[in-house]
Amino acid sequence: MNFELTEEHKMIRDAARDFAQTELLPGVIERDENQTFPTEQIKKLGKLGFMGMMVSPKYGGAGMDTVSYVLAMEEISKIDASASVIVSVNNSLVCYGIEQYGSEEQKQKYLTKLATGEFIGAFCLSEPEAGSDATSQKTTALDMGDHYIINGTKNWITNGGRSDVYLVIAQTDRDKGHKGINAFIVEKGMEGFDIGPKEDKLGIRGSDTHTLQFNDVKVPKENRIGEDGFGFKFAMKTLSGGRIGIAAQALGIAAGAYELALKYSKERKAFGTEICNHQAIAFKLADMYTDITAARHLVMKAAWDKDEGNDYDISGAMAKLYASKVAMEHTVEAVQIHGGNGFVKDYHVERLMRDAKITQIYEGTSEIQKIIISRSIIKG
């Protein structure tokens, strides 16, 4: 067993760290406050290969492995979790979904642009009445022969107002249950496809989250992904990989808060010494460091499983469950270590605490991860 990163992995991690420090840190507080999408930064990330990290160079991607991807996700998320969710959805849901399950024509038409950051993508599964219960899709896609007609509403869609390509999950044949669900590539600007108001969120406020409306949207048959009825499995398989990206995001949020708390505790003095010398603070730091290291091992194991061709449904679910719990708990502790300063925006930890919460909700709540894990261990 080898826990060492390769030189290439270290280079990718360092490049992401440098980018986060020089390009994302300036203005991160203002973008959060004003809900500003990091347009220029995402363009630059695309040029550097971070928007299609795992996509084959044949389609314009960087051809890297999942371990590289989670290393980059951790570094970006330490500084700007809004930017990292944009990166994550584009990489592990949209690019991966099309590269793995799309037709050659779909790859040439869409993936080549998504992989370079020329296009941004969104993944549209959640609905007002179907978030966790993903088989209960109310959005319909009627088969009209050479095209489908899509009607319905999608909620809480990351990159909702900023995307060029939307992967939309919809029910074609209700009698067939999940086997009647399909996945489609819908383009921005298709007639009847409307972008609703932007959500005003607790965290990841620089990312762009919308409700989407589909009113008789005509989608050509060649935009369906996979065979008729493959849509639910497409969503589940794609989300399994997406969860590794969100686990890495949660890890980065926790690690970012920990690094700030450690630095602050070495500078701030109280009762005659730096506060890190008080056990009340030192023990918090020890717990944070231990839990973050454990979360990193789970994230790396899930990424490695995916790279090795092993099953990663369970390792990804465990990584997301644990890393998001660590992110939530330890961003609260990081605020506590900062005292009054932790409660104001300039010190960054209050933002990280707000950002942490979503990692326990999107791409499957913590309860969903527990369903996935428990079903597997009970089945044996």
Amino acid 314 reads: I
Residues 6 or more apart whose Cβ sits within 8 Å of residue 278: 270, 271
Minimum CB distance to ligand CAA, residue 158 (Å): 3
Minimum CB distance to ligand CAA, residue 273 (Å): 44
Can you tell me the distance from the alpha carbon of 84 to that of 295, in angstroms, rounded to the nearest whole number? Answer: 18
Minimum CB distance to ligand CAA, residue 47 (Å): 24
Q: Which of 237, 268, 301, 357 binds ligand CAA (CB under 6 A)?
A: 237
* Mask for 360-379, x = binds ligand CAA (CB under 6 A): --xxx---x--xx-------
- List 74, 274, 363, 367, catalytic entry: 363
Minimum CB distance to ligand CAA, residue 80 (Å): 16
- The DSSP-derived string for 81-113 is HHHHHHHHIIIIIIIHHHHHHS-HHHIIIIIHH
Q: Which of 54, 134, 165, 334 binds ligand CAA (CB under 6 A)?
A: 134
Q: Which of 21, 132, 290, 374 binds ligand CAA (CB under 6 A)?
A: 132
- 357 CB burial (10 A radius; 0-12, 13-18, 19+): middle
Can you tell me the distance from the alpha carbon of 122 to that of 108, in angstroms, rounded to the nearest whole number? Answer: 18
Closest C-alpha to 211, from 161, 139, 150, 163: 161
| Positive or negative torsion for Cα 125, 61, 165, 172 | negative
Minimum CB distance to ligand CAA, residue 123 (Å): 5
135 counts as binding ligand CAA under rule CB under 6 A:
yes
Can you tell me the distance from the alpha carbon of 68 to that of 233, in angstroms, rounded to the nearest whole number? Answer: 26
Can you tell me the distance from the alpha carbon of 368 to that of 346, in angstroms, rounded to the nearest whole number? Answer: 35
100 counts as binding ligand CAA under rule CB under 6 A:
no
Distances (CA, A) of 369 to 12, 54, 240: 29, 24, 10
Comparison of 8 and 133: residue with beta carbon closer to ligand CAA:
133
Q: Which of 89, 204, 247, 353 binds ligand CAA (CB under 6 A)?
A: 89
125 counts as binding ligand CAA under rule CB under 6 A:
yes
Closest C-alpha to 316, from 235, 237, 243, 234: 243
* Binding residues among 214-233 for ligand CAA as defined by CB under 6 A: 232-233
Minimum CB distance to ligand CAA, residue 17 (Å): 24
From 13-21, 122-130, 182-190, 217-225, span contacting ligand CAA (CB under 6 A): 122-130
Residues 6 or more apart whose Cβ sits within 8 Å of residue 131: 155, 156
From 44-52, 56-64, 218-226, 234-242, span contacting ligand CAA (CB under 6 A): 234-242
Closest C-alpha to 231, from 161, 375, 134, 129: 134
Comparison of 27 and 131: residue with beta carbon closer to ligand CAA:
131
Residue 363 appears among annotated catalytic residues: yes
Closest C-alpha to 130, from 152, 162, 150, 145: 152
Can you tell me the distance from the alpha carbon of 258 to that of 279, in angstroms, rounded to the nearest whole number? Answer: 16
Comparison of 197 and 340: residue with beta carbon closer to ligand CAA:
197
Q: Which of 82, 153, 158, 359 binds ligand CAA (CB under 6 A)?
A: 158
Query: Which residues are catalytically annotated?
Result: 363
Residues making contact with ligand CAA (CB under 6 A): 89, 123, 125-126, 131-132, 134-135, 157-158, 178, 232-233, 236-237, 239-240, 313, 362-364, 368, 371-372
